[in-house]
A and B are shown apart, each in its own frame.
Chain A
Amino acid sequence: MSTGLSENLSQDPRQRPTLVLGGKGFTEVTDTVCAVSERRKWPAIWYIAFACSLVLLGVLGACLTYLISTGIGVWGNNMPAAWGFPIVNFVFWVGIGHAGTLISAVLFLFRQKWRTSINRSAEAMTIFAVACAGIFPAVHVGRVWLAYWLFPIPNQMSMWPNFRSPLLWDVFAVSTYATVSSMFWYMGMIPDLATLRDRATGKAKQFFYGLFSLGWSGSNRHWLRFERAYLLLAALATPLVLSVHSIVSFDFAVSILPGWHTTIFPPYFVAGAIFSGFGMVMTILIPCRSAFGLQDLITTRHVENMAKVILVTGSMVGYSYTMEFFIAWYSGNLVEQFAFVNRSFGPYAWAYWTMFSCNAFIPQLFWFKKVRQTMLLAWIVSILVNVGMWFERFVIVVTSLTRDYLPSSWGMFRPTSIDFLTFLGSFGLFFTLFLLFVRFLPMVAMAEVRSVMPQAHGIVGEGHRPFGDYWPDSVHPERQRKPSPEEE
């Protein structure tokens, strides 16, 4: 069958690298992926991780119960920082939720075959991150039981949300994004659910996998519809990758607060979101690939590619910082200049420099091949990216609010222990969901991985493979010319 290579880091342009290693064929790929959810005995590490996540989830539950039963006053939000941790955490989680759709939609349109090994788990992560994000604005409304007022539902009081408020646009943007990414995730999973159904031994498994695979039989007709739907959803989801975080950035940028009101915010937030999303994908997948024996599918090359995406998006974020700084000076606007001097040398300078080094400097380590290819180093950088991006939102929200135009209204933001615990608890929700996903669902898109293997294109053996990394790449018979005499 295919080459039994154990590494695929070649940069030789004459041949596209193999994406699946270890001499795996279709069967072996299926076996490897299914083995993750089919194993009878789960590794102790999963149980330990799950227990920790459940504890954190409990913390979240307790904090929210306390919050709802007592009131928003349990948080540190207070004038002048009326927006504190909840908005910081909301933006942080929504940002993380950007990698999944980027990988499944944008990288699909760009025919990046390597995405097939990571798209499923990245999409799952997206949905869980959006779920975490959704909690914060929902509980921030105070009377949670009236949160549905956020939607423009006709009512006898003739009461409508303010359509000119970007907070309302957020409601639409985030809920659209959550819907489309869930749909994309589920639809892409149908062929794999059918595989699990066909292999299932227990009655319950057969029933549930059978139910959710919607009678998939793998016929040509099914595949034709599937691929067409996939392309359409990818095209529809691509603008969403840009729109959600653009609208989140409008929350800040439509105001006239120094440090918030600047025109680069929409693309800057989008780049930051993809940056943080890839950071989280990497943070999760590096341990997962070794814990579940997926090194032949999520190879070093995959990690390296992710590192490159982080380098590119991190540089875009660095570019935006530079533009903000330069224009703050160039504008000659004193309050704008003060906002940036205050960020870098004021009371929150520690947060600013944490953000700046984690986002603009540390990812630059990915220029070095050694850092991209050493799992531990790459993993550490990815965690620092997450830290940096949380601090970015903290810096934006807190520094601008605590010191705006009038020095007489300045103050400091003091988060409470409940603030910290709620944020920590949201990781509990995120990891609980993710660990359950790993336990019960196919965490690598088997069908898609199989389709990018050379065997899928009738190329068997160690032969030269001139056409590679894109899917599908078969050569249309009509376009093949008759061989010329000297070629024969």
Chain B
Amino acid sequence: MHTHLIDITKEKRFLGSLGQRLTLGGGVAGIVGLAVSFGLASTSEDGIHRLWWSYLHNWTFFLTIALGALFFVLVEHLAKAGWSVVLRRLSEGVSMTLVLLAILFVPLIFGLHDLYHWLHADLVAQDHVLQHKASYLNQTFFLVRVAVYFLFWIGAAFLMHRNSVKQDQSGDHLLTGKMEALSAPFMMIFALTTTFASFDLLMSLDPHWFSTIFGVYFFAGSFMSFLAFLSVIIVGLQRSGRLTGAITDQHLHDVGKFLFAMLVFWAYIAFSQYLLIWYGNLPEETGWYLRRQTGTWSSLGIVMIFGHFLIPFLFLLSRHIKRRPLLLSLGALWLLVMHWLDLYWLIMPEYDHALTAIPFSLLDLSCLVGIGGFFIAAWAWFLRRCSLIAEKDPRLAESLTFENA
């Protein structure tokens, strides 16, 4: 070696007791959060119906983060990236939470009737458009599709994680080649499954509305929210004394650049969709936006333009901010909130078309705590035994000494 590297064996690179605390704390938060949600819902009129919407919203929020993580793992293998090797294990952990999200989907099966009105036989009978779609939008096919998506997502996340952990032991560089070879077809399937998942889970909440760009919009938010989440966990872990030498401001800078790029990409896709529908002005498309521009919903739209784009754009533009852990994680937290609101804006206007005010409810927060708690717990649980860095990755040296231009 020409360069003396940071000695990673001296690094605090296991979750250890923090992992136990996170699993336990997250699990308790999960149980309490969901129990409170259920309690709140069952004591109020129409509460259970409302609960499903909050549940779907928050479940989707964490699903997008996990899918973003899977994308990141795949794309870094696909591009044979060097800089990001020190971040990969953390990302693998996030992608493994797809297992949890699959389990948390199960209760949703009982709420489908409350969420998707294409399941209401009486409505379909009067609606020729829904009759036309019935061969696609029906309960059996919907559940089969969701099962297929999760089978693939979990399979891909699992294979990538398992081979990566195997390499920690054996140091076999051929495993890298194997993961790179898998990442190419996985990426193709990822694109299709994620797109159709976004159509099924979110777009079909208004089964009359359609937009070909919707899958890209969903992906943009997913990857952005994952990068934000990654920034937050890096900073959190470093504050606990872990990975302090391995992950440097150089890596934070690159994650920040990616985050910046993705928030611009999100804005680009959101703008494209809006402009084309607004300009075309066809009632079958504009109805969806009209609901989001009526009453207090319009203010949430303004919040999106400023909060999800202009303000973080200016904030993350600076190299200085991207390299400061505290400032970067502040921007990242902000964007996570914005992403949560973005999904709220996608989902909730379909809750009740007659409603022109934002139907904010405590359930939105209690579900966030509940699902979020389980999410953190699952992340820590999947990383409980392995190192937090891909220890013997052949490109680890490159990543450890990585220097930004």
Contacts and interface: CB of A to CB of B under 8 A. Distances in A.
A331 interface: yes
B394 A14 contact: yes
Interface in A240-262: 242, 246, 250, 253-256, 261-262
Interface in B243-292: 245, 248, 257, 264, 268-269, 272-273, 275-277, 279-282, 284
B275 A472 contact: no
B3 A475 contact: yes
Interface in B129-148: 129, 132-133, 136
Interface in B157-195: 173, 176-177, 180, 184, 188, 191-192, 195
Interface in B4-19: 4-7, 10
Interface stretch (B212-220, B299-307, B348-356): B212-220
Contact of B215 (A109, A323, A333, A471): A323
Interface stretch (B32-40, B88-96, B329-337, B397-405): B397-405
Contacts of B188: 315
Contact of B398 (A253, A263, A266, A467): A467
B136 A253 contact: no
A475 B401 contact: yes
A332 interface: yes
A364 B212 CA distance: 23
A267 B269 contact: yes
Interface in A289-323: 315, 319-320, 322-323
A104 to B, nearest CB: 15
B115 to A, nearest CB: 18
Interface string A465-488: 011111111111001111110010
Nearest to B254: A111
Interface in B311-370: none
B271 to A, nearest CB: 9
Given A261-B282, A469-B82, A470-B83, A13 B176 contact: yes
Contacts of B214: 263
Given A231-B405, A267-B213, A261 B280 contact: yes
Contacts of A474: 403
Nearest to B132: A332
A331 B210 contact: yes
A487 B136 CA distance: 62
A239 B213 CA distance: 19
A183 interface: no
A248 B128 CA distance: 36
Contacts of A327: 210-212
B280 A255 contact: yes
A459 B2 CA distance: 8
B80 interface: yes
A468 B129 CA distance: 56
B1 interface: yes
A483 B272 contact: no
User: What range describes how many residues of A lie at the interface?
Assistant: 35 or more
A39 interface: no
Contacts of A333: 284
B49 interface: no
Contact of A480 (B3, B210, B398): B3
A267 B80 CA distance: 25
Contact of A12 (B2, B173, B269, B273): B173
B395 interface: yes
Contact of A472 (B216, B245, B405): B405
B276 A263 contact: yes
A394 interface: no
Nearest to B257: A109
A323 B212 contact: yes
A98 to B, nearest CB: 16
Contacts of A468: 82, 398
Contacts of B132: 332
Given A254-B280, A263-B273, A332-B129, A319 B191 contact: yes
Nearest to A466: B397
B292 to A, nearest CB: 15
Given A14-B394, A263-B213, A250 B2 contact: no
A35 B132 CA distance: 66
B133 A253 contact: no
Contacts of B136: 330
B268 A246 contact: yes
Contacts of A487: 4, 7
B284 A331 contact: yes
A262 B212 contact: yes
Nearest to A472: B405
A436 interface: no
Nearest to A239: B264
A324 B268 CA distance: 19
Given A253-B276, A263-B273, A324 B401 contact: no
Interface in A212-244: 231, 239, 242
Contacts of A472: 403, 405
Contacts of B405: 111, 231, 471-472
Interface in A10-30: 11-14, 16
Given A242-B268, A467-B398, A472-B405, A261 B4 contact: no
18 contacts: A110-B79, A254-B280, A262-B212, A264-B213, A324-B212, A330-B210, A332-B129, A332-B133, A459-B2, A466-B398, A467-B82, A467-B398, A467-B401, A469-B80, A472-B405, A473-B398, A479-B248, A481-B6
Interface of B: 1-7, 10, 79-80, 82-83, 128-129, 132-133, 136, 173, 176-177, 180, 184, 188, 191-192, 195, 199, 210-216, 245, 248, 257, 264, 268-269, 272-273, 275-277, 279-282, 284, 393-395, 397-398, 401, 403, 405
Given A11-B180, A265-B272, A466-B3, 4 more contacts: A13-B395, A315-B188, A320-B212, A484-B4
User: Which 8 pairs show the lowest CB-CB distances between chains A and B?
Assistant: A264-B212, A263-B213, A254-B279, A13-B394, A13-B176, A266-B272, A483-B4, A332-B129
